[in-house]
Amino acid sequence: MRRTFPRELASIRAIAAYVREFMAGERLGDDAAGDLDLVLEEAFTNLVKYGRGARGDVEISLERGRDGVTAEVREFDAEPFDPTQLPEVDVHRPISERRPGGLGVHFIRQLTKSFRYDHANRIGIISITMKDPT
């Protein structure tokens, strides 16, 4: 299942509806949908806020396979920016001692089995496989 969304934060609501539609079609629960919502919201928000040179819509595909639910988030005409290479956030340090940023990627790492980035021919692809809900 694949959809495109305008590269604007207002698309978050439509992305959440897309996730709910997909999860209902796959007969997966609300907990799994909530985790996938959060992961896609964070990935999409990072593309909108920090994407370099990217233009046009963002394409999101969802699939349920042997390894679980996978998602691909594609941006077009984009400079490389690999969020998987961002440093880990030390969530045990007091907030006053932390630098802003990085919590979205931290949540993605916590909720996924795999989190990959590829870039070729000016297309950036974030590939995610969700952890099985427990």
- In percent, how much of the chain has pLDDT > 90? 53
pLDDT above 90 (res 96): no
**Which CATH superfamily is 2-130 part of?**
Histidine kinase-like ATPase, C-terminal domain (3.30.565.10)
- Res 99: pLDDT: 66
76-90 pLDDT, tens digit per residue, is 888 888 888 877 766
Domain residue extents for the chain: 2-130
What φ, ψ does residue 69 adopt, rounded to 5°? -85, 125
Grade residue 67 by pLDDT with cuts at 50, 70 and 90.
Answer: confident
Q: Which two tokens stand for residue 21?
A: 């539609």
